[in-house]
Amino acid sequence: MALKVTQVKSTIGNKRPARESVRSLGLKRIHHSVVVPDNATNRGYINRATHLLSVEEVSDVTAEGNAQQ
């Protein structure tokens, strides 16, 4: 299983842990999406910045296709 994470709000004005969690997920700007593995580390990053992100579950087949592009 994988997660598609999209940044929906700016990190400006947020505390440092939330900003760093968004960056650690590989997000660079608003409306940027990445597909990350569903593991404890990434879940922790998402939990820290849940108010800035939108999260969807995707199948592994979709995740592999996005990783190759």
pLDDT tens by residue, 4-58: 999 999 999 999 999 999 999 999 999 999 999 999 999 999 999 999 999 999 9
Q: At what angle do helices 16-24 and 40-48 cross, to 10 degrees?
A: 140
Total residue length of the chain: 69
Residue 30, strand partner residues: none
Pairwise CA distance, residues 13 & 69, whole Å: 33
Pairwise CA distance, residues 63 & 21, whole Å: 21
Q: Give the per-residue pLDDT at 65.
A: 59
Tell me the domain boundaries of the chain.
2-64
Q: Which fold has domain 2-64?
A: Ribosomal Protein L30; Chain: A, (3.30.1390)
Pairwise CA distance, residues 27 & 39, whole Å: 17
